[in-house]
Amino acid sequence: MLSQALLLIGVGLMAGILGALLGLGGGIIITPVLTLMMGLPIQYAIAASIIAVIATSSGATIAYLKDEMLNLRVAMFLEIATTVGAVLGAVLTGLIDGQFLYFLFGALLLFSVYNMIRKMLMKPENIKAPTPDPAAEKLKLNGAYFDKAQGKEVNYQVTNVPGGFAMMFGAGLASGLLGIGSGAFKVLAMDTIMKMPLKPSTATSNLMMGVTAAASATVYFFNGSLRPEIAAPLAVGILVGATLGTRLMQIMPTKVLRLIFIPVIGYMGLQMLLKGFGVSI
């Protein structure tokens, strides 16, 4: 029993670091470890992954609030979209073809990867400055954060608020219907659509995903899918890992962060797309 607990704490540690860094839930690490390595039935693995999302979110948020990395107003405003999407998604389960959705969301992730790579290869002077959005001004969404890697404060504007809101609704729908992408779509909504810098985008995604996951977690908690001997050591590892991840993210240059983000999102997109074709990897 001790060796299993230690293994789970270790897995949690890794998932917590990666999750806090990239604003993801860590399901990408946890689900395969639990199902493939430990042979756990999928519903137990999903239940444990949901707890992992909450542990990552709350663990990372403490540090990101203190260091003012995240954008609280962006999070609150967009949480309306994610929570409504998640509730609707949960209600619609069974009415919508899951396979088609996997295909759609997978394609969306891969398209984002293509866009990000293209943008990275562009010369900086060719990248258009975001056009100020009056809605962002009205909702006080524009923000600032201190970048430890650059040693200076970075002010930023938020643009295309309706687009980001729509994408967040999709993110909520995806997590409600399929239990996936709790973080990836949120980061993309802020980073790619609303043109927020990557660091506040991942930090804000960390804050938001806990709320979306809390509702799903109650389902698994009360229907008995949440196994305490699996979820508890995982949660402990994640809380420690997420704390480490928040330290790491702040000193890491944004470019390095993006170089980690792109392949992870690419892998997730590919996995979903294949699932859309009925292939599991």
Partner 1 sequence: MDNEVKKETQDIELIIGQILRIGVIIAAAVIVLGLALLLITGQSGYPAGVHPSKPGAILQGVIAFKPYAVLMLGLFLLILTPVLRVVVSIYAFIKEKDHLYAWITTIVLVILVIAMVIGYLG
E-strand spans in 116-247? 143-147, 152-156
Residues 47, 225: contact at Cβ < 8 Å?
yes
Could you say whether residue 51 binds partner 1 (CB under 8 A)?
Answer: yes
Collapsing DSSP to helix, strand or coil, 153 comes out as strand
Query: Which C-beta is closer to partner 1: that of 106 or that of 181?
Result: 181
Query: Contact with partner 1 (CB under 8 A): which of 49, 56, 201, 216?
Result: 216
Q: Site residues for partner 1, window 145-204 (CB under 8 A)?
A: 155
Distances in whole angstroms, Cα of residue 186 to Cα of each of 5, 74, 137, 173: 31, 11, 21, 12
Closest contact distance (angstroms) between CB of 9 and partner 1 is: 9
Q: Site residues for partner 1, window 234-263 (CB under 8 A)?
A: 235-236, 239
147 DSSP β-pair partners: 152
Residues present in the chain in total: 281
Q: Could you tell me which stretch among 29-37, 110-118, 159-167, 230-238 binds partner 1 (CB under 8 A)?
A: 230-238
Place of tokens 């002077």: 125
Residue 279 burial class via C-beta count within 10 angstroms: exposed 0-12, middle 13-18, buried 19 and up: exposed
Could you say whether residue 217 binds partner 1 (CB under 8 A)?
Answer: yes
Q: Could you tell me which stretch among 57-65, 106-114, 177-185, 258-266 binds partner 1 (CB under 8 A)?
A: 57-65
Collapsing DSSP to helix, strand or coil, 29 comes out as helix
Closest contact distance (angstroms) between CB of 211 and partner 1 is: 5
Interface with partner 1 by CB under 8 A: which residues?
Answer: 1-2, 5, 51, 54-55, 57-59, 61-62, 65-66, 68, 72-73, 76-77, 79-80, 83-84, 86-87, 90, 139-140, 142-144, 155, 207, 210-211, 213-219, 221-224, 226-229, 231-233, 235-236, 239
